[in-house]
A and B are shown apart, each in its own frame.
Chain A
Amino acid sequence: DTGVSQDPRHKITKRGQNVTFRCDPISEHNRLYWYRQTLGQGPEFLTYFQNEAQLEKSRLLSDRFSAERPKGSFSTLEIQRTEQGDSAMYLCASSFNRALTTDTQYFGPGTRLTVL
């Protein structure tokens, strides 16, 4: 399977714990995005990387959230001191960006986080 993969698919944790999610993009895709989706809402943009550089972070991404893409390949999203409001589906997407064109983003299956 050469699509976007995410691990784990499900995570249940207790409030106050730290969690880390991983995203493996489609090979050779230079852009990687993180989104969050809560029940009944569309996905909301969190952050994105162009290769290894994190170029934008949403105001939704509080200081408890950190994302990395150390070698421009896979990415991790860490949430520290989880809160019940962090419960959501965390979606990763990747794309190959060419200048002045709109690239198609391909989504992974998501990591569903439940904070008890």
Chain B
Amino acid sequence: RKEVEQDPGPFNVPEGATVAFNCTYSNSASQSFFWYRQDCRKEPKLLMSVYSSGNEDGRFTAQLNRASQYISLLIRDSKLSDSATYLCVVNYYNQGGKLIFGQGTELSVKP
């Protein structure tokens, strides 16, 4: 079983739709959580950190459930420019800070 699991998609949605991505992680020692965005053939870029209390950045909302070892990302009012792969990431800062990535979920927003 992979340490971080995501539905690979693709998710094909119309502009303006709300889309939710889910992610589960297997190691309860995981300490920090992130969503990264990766455009085709580009490097991953940090989208947002994920906190137990939930956090929001504009149209993006991230949630963490430590008891269920579950992370989510909600995108509201999706734009064409949101088309990308979204990577769920966990981190163990007491193990050198290496990032453990999920497979990524591909999102395609259509006009």
Contacts and interface: CB of A to CB of B under 8 A. Distances in A.
A43 B101 contact: yes
Interface in B45-101: 45-46, 49, 87, 89, 91, 93, 95-101
Given A91-B43, A107-B45, A108-B43, A48 B103 contact: no
B44 interface: yes
A48 B8 contact: no
Interface residues of B, number: 25
A42 B97 contact: no
A102 B32 contact: yes
A33 B101 CA distance: 14
Given A40-B8, A42-B103, A42-B104, A107 B97 contact: no
Contact of B103 (A31, A40, A100): A40
Contacts of B102: 42
B76 to A, nearest CB: 24
B46 A104 contact: yes
A28 interface: no
B35 to A, nearest CB: 12
A55 B96 contact: yes
A104 B99 CA distance: 10
Nearest to A4: B43
Interface string A2-40: 000000000000000000000000000001010100001
Contacts of B95: 56
B103 A102 contact: no
B46 to A, nearest CB: 6
A45 interface: yes
Interface string A85-110: 00000010101010011111111111
Interface of B: 4, 8, 31-32, 41-46, 49, 87, 89, 91, 93, 95-104
Given A33-B99, A42-B103, A102-B91, 4 more contacts: A91-B43, A93-B99, A103-B93, A103-B97
12 contacts: A31-B96, A33-B99, A35-B99, A40-B103, A43-B99, A55-B96, A56-B95, A91-B43, A93-B99, A100-B93, A105-B97, A109-B42
